[in-house]
Structure 1
Amino acid sequence: MSLGNLTALFIKSAPPGKHEDGDGLRLIKREDGGGQWVFRYTLYGRRREMGLGGLKALSLKDARDVASGYRTLVAKGKDPIEHRRRQRQDAMRSRHLLKDVALDAFESRKADLKGDGTAGRWYSPLEHHVLPKLGQMPVAEITQSDVRDALMPIWHLKAATATKAANRLRIVLDHAAALGLDVDLQAVAKAKQLLGRQRHQVTSIPSMPWVDVPAFYASLEDPTITHLALRLLILTGLRSRPVRFARLDEIEGDIWTVPANNMKARVGAAEDFRVPLSKEAQRVINLARPYERDGYLFPSVRKGVISDATMARLMERRGLEARPHGFRSSLRTWLAEETDAPHEVAEMVLAHLSDSKVVRTYRQTDFLDQRRPLMDRWAKYCTG
């Protein structure tokens, strides 16, 4: 057939089948009256076919214009299918999807985050509760309704996490505006109005009564990484992070100096924290030494150190309500009920800040010598 063989009138009444317009442009008519435009071409001896669009979307004139553009590409030795694929990729990149802007915002804030944000606490509320639903949306199209729908499942159920996710999203939208994108900076605030006041009551992490600690400690008899890490956590009263990231070069004799960046961010506490080690704590550390990798006492199976959930899962599998962080409460209650430790010394055992900044400045002590006998007594109690 010659170029331009088809007519608009013929297309309307054309029977089902293939109808050539010429020079590679073909109409495939369906039984239901609809149809599809196809462009056929040969490049470097290879015959290829690409769909151009449906009959409803493209008129005969439009289809000829599109095919003409692709014929020009073929004449230049370029593959139309590859050209279109690259165009679509470029278009997606230029749309500034929320997931990409969120990552960019995270990168720009790493210097302000503890350990450059490696623990993932800044990014995880977005990653788990916002990006699965909104990540593929262009950031400029996000409305308060989208934000509300994303946060609604956790708004009352996980109030603290939902608040964090909302705050992180607001920062990401601010970042998008700084990039020059046209975003609704009030989307999060308006979404909060739609969601209403949170009903969730803040509850503390379940702890084990201190009278039950010796029995649990005795059950951690296998010299595995998880058992040893839990033992050291119980004996020192530290949070999970400093234990998980414990390094041999931090320990000298009976003193473990935890770097400031592994301690919870405390007002006015930019210094390292010294932990007096009982004989039992030193024994646990010696048992963990064979596992040491890259200086870390508690490495994970693959890379890095054991995760935040490793110790918690062990307790969960045993059907316990208590969680590792709760042993800090167990220790603090034991100190209050079974010792005559002064308040400020007991608080320092847990690396809590008591008194005002002025008082702490003048005091200039971490009560190491007063804490040492307390930790020895706690270790003796835990080991029965």
Structure 2
Amino acid sequence: MSRAINRLSASAVKSASVGKYADGGGLWLVKREDGGAQWVLRITTHGRRREMGLGAYPDRTLKEAREVADHWRAVARQGLDPIKERERQRREAARNVHILVDVAQDAFESRKAELKGDGKAGRWFSPLEIHILPKLGKVPVAEIDQKDIRDTLAPIWHDKADTARKAINRLGIVMRHAAALGLEVDLQATEKAKALLGKQRHTVRNVPAMNWRDVPAFYQSLDSGSLTELALRLLILTAVRSYPLRFMHLNQIDGDVWTIPAAAMKGRLGATSDFRVPLSAEAQNVIAEARKFARDGYLFPGAKRGVISDMTMTAFMNRRGLSERPHGFRSSFRDWTAEATNTPHDVAETCLGHTTGSGVERAYRRTDFLEQRKVVMDRWASLCLRDARNLAILNAQ
């Protein structure tokens, strides 16, 4: 290249005093009084003279400054304004740096309609928020690999296996969401991370459940008329999960049928029909007692606002010295139907709100077994009210 272009040398740049020094082709070194220095490219585009900063010296060497200057001169020869083009590229690069926390939030927002209560309880997002985002939230999603995921979840992979499983599964959904947005991500990263983490040692334990033979005595001990005890009684009588019961609204009750919105039923997300729960005479009595506590239409309101916490009934059973949990009464009910009744499998499972059979079978089977379930729930209520001494007689029926 001509000396008219490359006028400066590395040693001259290093020893230069305060002032401006031309390297040729519009490239200048500007030495300041404070000891700092920077590269500037003077260029004319669209009839206007422009000065473009190319970085500080010595962070950018003379050789690097010349290479950058060559690039932007070529841009100018294409009829583009180098400064505006650089700004455009920076904006585009910023848009392309999608960090995990932003993609995760977007994935969550797109799935809210599928979640109970629009995900307000936080159970879908919390595994990510607590165990993934603190370490990987600021990382561009395209840069996340199996080693990052392994290192993030290794501390809880065995000790909190269920939580870790939920976290990695949610992360997999987020990665697929990122791919749908057109980002280049490794869709196998979570599966590779599982291979690196190894098989979980944690043994899944079922929710402690009360033996169905002990349910009558416990049910009859709930006799104070408190809101918590009424909620427990209705939970036992209907064999539903705590979420729909806690959010039970008066406008969902029509005589001896309680209709739970489909969105509130776990395992029935996206269902086009709600779930009907037959109410025994005893269940209707409990509802009548609970009405005096109703606020804003909710049968079991919280002390200050909203509805009772999902820990309210658990805490009550803890105070009673019981290891069993409220959710376990669903198992108590199911064991009773299997051991002490001739309830058909599909009817018993439908009592719990479970779907049975293949998709094709369900497409052709339109019944929800409401009448059959009324009979079963009436017998269950009778069991709950029966004196324990007469339990053997009931079992023989």
Same fold (TM over 0.5): yes
Instruction: Indicate the larger mover: 95-104 or 121-130.
Output: 95-104
Which residue number in structure 2 is paired with residue 311 of structure 1? 313
Q: Report 1:47-58 matches (<5 A).
A: none
* Structure-2 change in CA distance of 1:356 and 1:149 (3 Å): closer
SS of 1:257's equivalent?
Answer: strand
Task: Give the 3-state SS of the residue equivalent to 2:210 in structure 1.
Answer: coil
Q: Kindly, what percent of the aligned residue pairs are identical?
A: 63
For residues 357 and 109 of structure 1, do their structure 2 counterparts lie closer, same or farther at Cα, with a shift above 3 Å needed?
A: closer
Equivalent residue number for residue 173 of structure 1: 175
- 1:163 counterpart residue number: 165
Structure 1 pair 127–218 and aligned structure 2 pair: CA distance change class (3 A): farther
Deviation of the 1:130 alpha carbon: 1.5
Residue from 284, 287, 302 that aligns with 1:285: 287
Per the TM alignment, residue 220 of structure 1 is displaced from its structure 2 partner at its CA by: 2.5
Distance 1:367-1:101 versus aligned 2 partners, 3 A rule? closer
Give the Cα–Cα distance (whole angstroms) in 2 for the partners of residues 198 and 63 of structure 1.
57
Instruction: Report SS of the residue matched to 2:223.
Output: coil
Give how far 1:286 is off.
Answer: 1.4
Cα deviation per residue 1:45-73 (whole Å; 9 max; x = unaligned)?
A: xxxxxxxxxxxxxx9523999xxxxxxxx
**1:353 and 1:175 mapped to 2: Cα distance?**
28
Q: C-alpha separation between the residues in 1 aligned to 2:104 and 2:141?
A: 9
Deviates more, 1:167-176 or 1:232-241: 167-176
Distance in 1 (alpha carbons) for counterparts of 2:344 and 2:240: 19
In the alignment, the residues of structure 2 paired with residue 113 and residue 363 of structure 1 have an alpha-carbon distance, to the nearest angstrom, of 26
Task: Name the larger-Rg structure.
Answer: 2
Q: Which residue of 1 aligns with 2:123?
A: 121
Q: Deviations over 1:117-137 (max 9, x none)?
A: 233332122122222333354
Offset at 1:340? 2.9
Check if 1:276 corresponds to 2:250.
no
Native 8 Å contact 2:262 2:269 kept in 1: no
Partners of 2:37 and 2:301 in 1: how far apart? 62
Q: What's 2:155 paired with?
A: 153
The partner residue of 1:134 within 133, 136, 148 is: 136
Letter matched to residue 135 of structure 1: G
Aligned match of 1:349 in 326, 348, 351?
A: 351
- Report the secondary structure of 2:205's partner residue: coil
In 2, Cα distance between equivalents of 1:268 and 1:356: 16
1:271 maps to amino acid:
S
Instruction: Evaluate the alpha carbon distance shift between residue 161 and residue 221 of structure 1 in structure 2; reply closer, same or farther with a 3 A threshold.
Output: same
Distance (Å, rounded) in 2 between the aligned partners of 1:349 and 1:179: 41
Structure 2, unaligned stretches of length 5 or more? 1-32, 40-93, 387-397
Q: Deviations over 1:235-261 (max 9, x none)?
A: 001111221111101111111122222
Question: TM-score when scaled to structure 1?
Answer: 0.68
Amino acid at match of 1:62: G
Provide closer, same or farther for how the CA distance between residues 95 and 302 of structure 1 changes in structure 2, counting only shifts above 3 A.
farther
Q: Provide the alpha-carbon RMSD of the alignment.
A: 3.4
Find the counterpart in structure 2 of residue 27 from structure 1: none
Label 1:254 to 1:175 Cα distance change in 2 as closer, same or farther (>3 A).
Answer: closer
| 1:16-35 paired onto structure 2 within 5 Å | none
Match of 2:88 in 1: none
- Distance in 2 separating the partners of 1:203 and 1:192: 21
Amino acid at match of 1:369: E
Of 319, 333, 339, 2:341 maps to: 339
Which aligned pairs between 1:5-20 and structure 2 lie closer than 5 A?
none
Q: Where do 1:93-242 residues align within 5 Å?
A: 97-139=99-141, 142-176=144-178, 185-242=187-244
Contact 1:258 1:274 in 2 (8 A): yes
Which residue is 1:48 aligned to?
Answer: none
User: Is the contact made by 2:158 and 2:200 (CA closer than 8 Å) also made in structure 1?
Assistant: yes
Which deviates more, 133-142 or 339-348?
133-142
SS of 2:209's partner is coil
Distance (Å, rounded) in 2 between the aligned partners of 1:158 and 1:205 = 16
User: Structure 2 vs 1, CA of residues 210 and 99 (structure 1 numbering), >3 Å: closer, same or farther?
Assistant: same
Is the contact made by 2:347 and 2:373 (CA closer than 8 Å) also made in structure 1?
yes
- Matched to 1:61, the amino acid is G
Q: Does 1:255 align with 2:229?
A: no
Q: Per the alignment, do residues 293 and 191 of structure 1 end up closer, same or farther by CA in structure 2, a change over 3 Å counting?
A: same
* Structure 2 Cα separation of the partners of residues 293 and 269 of structure 1: 29
Q: 1:101 to 1:340 in 2, by over 3 A?
A: closer
Change in 2 beyond 3 A, CA 1:125/1:268: closer
Q: Secondary structure at the match of 2:259?
A: strand
**Distance change in 2, residues 1:166/1:360 (3 Å):** closer
- 8 Å CA contact 1:240, 1:325 repeated in 2: yes
CA–CA distance in 2 between the matches of 1:363 and 1:140? 45
TM-superposition CA deviations, 1:306-363 (whole Å, max 9, x none): 2333322332343322212211111111122222333333233222333445555555
Q: Give the conservation status (yes or no) of the 8 Å contact 1:276–1:372.
A: yes
Q: Equivalents in 2 of 1:359, 1:256: separation in Å? A: 26
1:113 Cα offset (Å): 3.5
**Does residue 62 in structure 1 map to residue 36 in structure 2?**
yes
